[in-house]
Amino acid sequence: MARRAINFLKKLNFYNIQKGIRYLKHFGVKEFFVRLSDRLEPEEVPYGPWFEAHRAKEEELARQRAQRFREPVTFSIAVPLYRTPPQYLREMVASVQAQTYPHWELCLVNGSPEDQEVGRVLAEYAADPRIRVQTLDKNGGFAENTNAALAMARGDYIGLLDHDDLLEPDALYEAACRMQKENRPDLIYTDEDKITSDGSEHFQPNLKPDFNEDLLRSNNYICHFLIVSRALALRVGGFDHRYDGAQDYDFILKCTEQAQGICHIPKVLYHWRTHAASTADNPLSKQYAYEAGARAIAAHLARCRLTGCQVEQKKDFGFYRVHYPVEGEPLVSILIPNKDEKETLKKCLESLFAKTEYRNFEVIIIENNSKTKEIFDYYQEIDGRNGVHVVYWDRAFNYSALNNFGARHAKGSYFVCLNNDVEVIRGDWLTELLSHCQRPGTGIVGARLYYPDDTIQHAGIIIGIGGIAGSVFVGMKRSHSGYMHRESLQQELCAVTAACLMVRREAFEAVGGFEEKLAVAFNDVDFCLRVREAGYQVVYNPYVELYHYESKTRGAEDTEEKVRRFQKEIDYMRGRWNTLLKQGDPCYNRNLSLKKWNYSLRS
């Protein structure tokens, strides 16, 4: 199989044989082929042409050059140099000189004084007063060299640019416009992509969400292009050499902790050059960097007073999992609506009791108009035993009302909404939910659910997909992790499914529970959005894993009455969340499709 993999790699420009062998050794045969198949998956919307169509055209750039700002900010672009290939150095400088926004300076710190070629190239720019050069006596490493560039900076804001990467000509213009619109936030970042060493091809766009702390603790998704106020950069102490290799990750974490305003520009304005030695193209070249990244996250968590956490490196380089501790043993109330379907409910409960490691929970079965004798016999068998209580709701099916009714009978400090057609996979599922829900500021935690064939049923909900809201990565194989590994990363989202979610009791009560006007559709989405509106976070935790056999109790949406009801619920969501639907989901990116579930480009 390894030989077959190498034959694949021979046909691809991006994958060379040496890289394939390195990955094969690291991941093993099975996981290697999973990742290879992800890479070989054809783009639904090819990125290269898409980027060319969406980048600023010359007429737009000319308009930007002519624009005058009433109170312009000045940007200092800080670039540490070390044995930079002359061609890359010239191209990097040219990309700064091409900026349509005029108020900038370029601070170049040369950490390779012995490199005469670099010295000659730098001498070419002596005539440009906006370009300032400092040559160090010796190389101090990336962190110290960058700190020297920060010390040179005189601008209001500092932009961080690697010595062989490129900016789009409108990068500073877009940042300056956002400064005016957002009242000068302390931190701005943009989308980015990668380019081949000769700059001929753009690929692998990183289309980012707005600021997402849990995602940042899983991966340095902010990365490039980063702009911070000079005051903030000085306040956090610049770059720390103890995290060399991940010094930018550590710096970003510190900045986000103290920033007054964090702004994301959803445009590809930075191009990360790939070549054999770069981390962008060869993650295996800097394994020490990923260990430093884990230490940077651990230090960040300590500063945030989140004690007892452990940071684990994932198999994919640069990606992490944070283990949060459970404090004490609070009672958890598990709410399960049910109608008939004895075997379905029994399977759910048996898996729950057999596999759940966290034991301090009660189960509230909310009975809703069952007809069969066998289910009532089963209720009699389980009611009052092992913390199971059956309560009776005799009105028409209304998922929101059922859960609200069940919550009124619950004694726990945390509620778990659970469908009767789910089956527990991992014994730590309840522990994982609780460990996140106990964190200060978290209101809801959601799960990763699979169909019985081990494909994704739910990995979070994006507002706007399908018109109102929809789950992402539906139908993808469980072994895959999706765009930028988002399916497998802890992150904040706007909504998660109530087929399995935990909510802090105080958050539930703060918003008055579920909206009972939403009997069937979108009640979980609306609930999550209202909890967020109340100031709590909604977190997706992919390590909470269950099978979901999907809505057996409710039946098909195939009658005229049900179609009318569904349309009323759509109308309610459009009225209640109109602004959000227009602005777009902050946990997504406006350049991504709202018609597809797989993070493909919006055509």
Per-residue pLDDT of 401-448, as tens digits, reads 999 999 999 999 999 999 999 999 999 999 999 999 999 999 999 999
Query: What is the distance between the alpha carbons of residues 518 and 401, in angstroms, rounded to a whole number?
Result: 9
Query: What is the distance between the alpha carbons of residues 407 and 498, in angstroms, rounded to a whole number?
Result: 14
| Pairing state between β 262-273 and 187-195 | parallel
Query: What is the distance between the alpha carbons of residues 238 and 36, in angstroms, rounded to a whole number?
Result: 38
Same domain for 115 and 20, yes or no, is no
Which token pair is 102? 């005029």
Same domain for 370 and 508, yes or no, is yes
Of 259, 287, 303, the position where a domain reaches its end is: 303
> What is the band of 267 on the pLDDT scale with cuts at 50, 70, 90?
very high
Which residue, among 330, 185, 160, has the nearest Cα to 252 in the 3D structure? Answer: 160
User: What is the arithmetic mean of pLDDT over 557-584?
Assistant: 88
> What is the band of 126 on the pLDDT scale with cuts at 50, 70, 90?
confident
Is the pLDDT reported for residue 6 higher than 70?
no
Same domain for 16 and 130, yes or no, is no
> What is the band of 282 on the pLDDT scale with cuts at 50, 70, 90?
low
In a domain, 523, yes or no: yes
Is the pLDDT reported for residue 306 higher than 70?
yes
Which residue, among 37, 31, 34, 32, has the nearest Cα to 12 in the 3D structure? Answer: 37
- Read off the DSSP letter of residue 184: -
Which token pair is 61? 């750039």
- pLDDT above 70 covers a percentage of the chain that reads 90
At CA 171, angle to CA 170 and CA 177, rounded to 5?
85
**In 3-state terms, what secondary structure has residue 54?**
helix
- Enclosing domain of residue 475: 332-583
Cα-flanking dihedrals φ and ψ of residue 482, to 5°?
80, -175
Q: What is the total count of domains within the chain?
A: 3
Q: Which residues pair with 159 in a beta bridge?
A: 77, 227
User: What is the arithmetic mean of pLDDT over 90-99?
Assistant: 98
In a domain, 217, yes or no: yes
Same domain for 535 and 391, yes or no, is yes
> What is the band of 559 on the pLDDT scale with cuts at 50, 70, 90?
low
Same domain for 389 and 289, yes or no, is no
User: What does the pLDDT look like over 361-395, one tens digit per residue?
Assistant: 999 999 999 999 999 999 999 999 999 999 999 99
- Read off the DSSP letter of residue 24: H
pLDDT the model gives residue 32: 47
Same domain for 255 and 366, yes or no, is no
Same domain for 272 and 416, yes or no, is no
Q: Which residues pair with 580 in a beta bridge?
A: none
Compute the mean pLDDT over every residue in the chain, rounded to the nearest whole number: 91
Of 303, 322, 355, the position where a domain reaches its end is: 303
- pLDDT above 90 covers a percentage of the chain that reads 85
- CATH no. for residue 85? 3.90.550.10
In a domain, 56, yes or no: no
Is the pLDDT reported for residue 30 higher than 60?
no
In a domain, 314, yes or no: no
Same domain for 30 and 120, yes or no, is no
Q: Within a 10 A sphere around the Cβ of 547, how many other Cβ atoms?
A: 20
pLDDT the model gives residue 563: 80
Which token pair is 580? 């959000």
pTM equals 0.91
Same domain for 373 and 268, yes or no, is no
Which token pair is 51? 């980027």
Is the pLDDT reported for residue 86 higher than 60?
yes
> What is the band of 8 on the pLDDT scale with cuts at 50, 70, 90?
very low
Farthest CA pair distance, the chain: 91
In a domain, 54, yes or no: no
* Comparison of pLDDT for 541 and 42, the residue scoring more: 541
In a domain, 579, yes or no: yes
Same domain for 72 and 34, yes or no, is no
User: What is the arithmetic mean of pLDDT over 448-453?
Assistant: 96
In a domain, 358, yes or no: yes
pLDDT the model gives residue 550: 77
Contact (Cβ atoms closer than 8 angstroms) between residue 495 and residue 538: yes
> Environment class of residue 116 by beta-carbon count within 10 Å: exposed (0-12), middle (13-18) or buried (19+)?
exposed
Same domain for 353 and 248, yes or no, is no
In a domain, 589, yes or no: no
Listing DSSP states for 414-468 in one string gives: EEEEE-TTEEE--TTHHHHHHHHHTSTTEEEEEEEEE-TTSBEEES-EEETGGGS
Which residue, among 172, 199, 198, 165, has the nearest Cα to 76 in the 3D structure? Answer: 172
Contact (Cβ atoms closer than 8 angstroms) between residue 541 and residue 450: no
Helix or strand holding residue 150 (H, E): helix 141-152
Same domain for 351 and 438, yes or no, is yes
